Amino acid sequence: MIFHPAHEISQKIKKGKLSPREVVEESIRWAQKLEEKIHSFITLDPEKALERAKKIEEKISRGEETGPLAGIPVAVKDNICTRGIETTCGSKILKGFIPPYNATVVEKLEKAGAIIIGKTNCDEFAMGSSTENSAFFKTFNPWDLERVPGGSSGGSATSVASYQVFLSLGSDTGGSVRQPASFCGIYGLKPTYGRVSRFGLVAFASSLDQIGTFARNVKDLALITEAISGHDPRDSTSLPEEVPPYFDELQDSPRALRIGVPWGLLQEGISAEVKEAFEDALKIFERLGFPILEVSLPHASYGIPTYYLIAPAEASANLARYDGIRFGLREIGEGDLISLYKKTRGEGFGAEVKRRIMLGTFALSLGYREAFYLKAQKVRTLIRKDFEEAFNKVGLIALPTSPTLPFKLGEKVMDPLQMYMSDLYTIPISLAGLPAISIPVGLKNGLPVGMQIVGPPLSESLILKASHVFEMESGLSDLRPPILEEIGV
């Protein structure tokens, strides 16, 4: 069952040809088998998942509506609140925290009939590009256990790539859905900022954070993205726009749109293997009737420094709530309030989180706010305008997801700047608040390569359709990593 698409499994469940309990049991069995090798999950909750499967089975037997994801096992990143299930954000400071409510996306998943089997590992507070910054353990890439799966949503990506679940949720602030999707050979979508509610997503950088989706094929990706999208009055940044039927609209072939490529951005830092796979993918689009044009994004090269002023500044404010008093870890210091703050934060936060809090606090401090934070916001506006001008000439923009193949564990841990460069091609899109999808475009040296398709605001349907026609032409879906052979599948 696990090798079939989610949309097919759901239909069989609704028709009574498959039992939700059977599907969930197989998913849990598979997750437990792979967990010691990959470490996708911080928390697995078989008991709650089987209980929910039973309820869905009863609803089907009574002839009640069950939703488009009926009986489908799903994983959720551990920075998304789940009532009654621990939510740690991969941090010691939140170990043992059990939210009293569900995030809006969790409510929407359950309304659609999905079954959450567990919470996935991530870089602490979503700050990282390799899932090596988790306070609990590293997650390993199923294509090569000596390499990173990307981050920060590495656990969500690997849980789908290794067939533990059909679908998963991650969060994308500067590339944290798209980059691990690329490294793990699956599909990952970051919606337009505001398209998906952030209510219940533990905040990192509030003007950038967006919940995204993972799947092994475009149809499943459309299905889960449609399920979680829509306006939410509990999120002041949520867009009051109707959600198109993404899944049904895949039946309509997109017209031959011009695809823009910012070649000027791809001159430095990109590996030969990634560039070759990207160029081969463009040829497939040309064969499908999509003309390829060059576009200019002159300010995109400032994306990394701009992001690492804005995101840490917002993190500095958002993470001030972890004080050892209201929830989470509490470490008593020398008896006074300040020492309680120092000891709790000193022992609760990891090195990367501390680094970003300090960067952000400095960028907002008296005398530097104008020089750093406000100037970064102005550059952000220029980056957004570059994309607006490009979309006056083309319908879509394509560029690699990551400049390199998945790198080895430990390779960049001691060099933060090199780690930050992993998001060179994803960050400008996040700063502009645009929707983008990472699609697999082949293997190089036995490792996956991903390509981004970017559209104007609220063009999720368009980028999904373009990805779908590419998927049909290339045959690049449901790529099976070597870990499956290693355990005898």
Q: Which residues are catalytic?
A: 77, 152, 176
d(CA 71, CA 20): 5
d(CA 31, CA 74): 12
Cα 228 versus chain centre, distance: 14
Kind of pairing, strands 292-294 and 396-400?
A: unpaired
Do residues 170 and 128 lie in contact, with contact meaning Cβ atoms separated by under 8 Å?
A: no
Q: In what order do the strands lie in the sheet with 167-172?
A: 41-44, 115-120, 73-77, 167-172, 210-215, 187-190, 436-444, 447-454, 396-400, 259-261, 292-294
- Tokens 């088998």 map to which residue? 33
d(CA 244, CA 391): 21
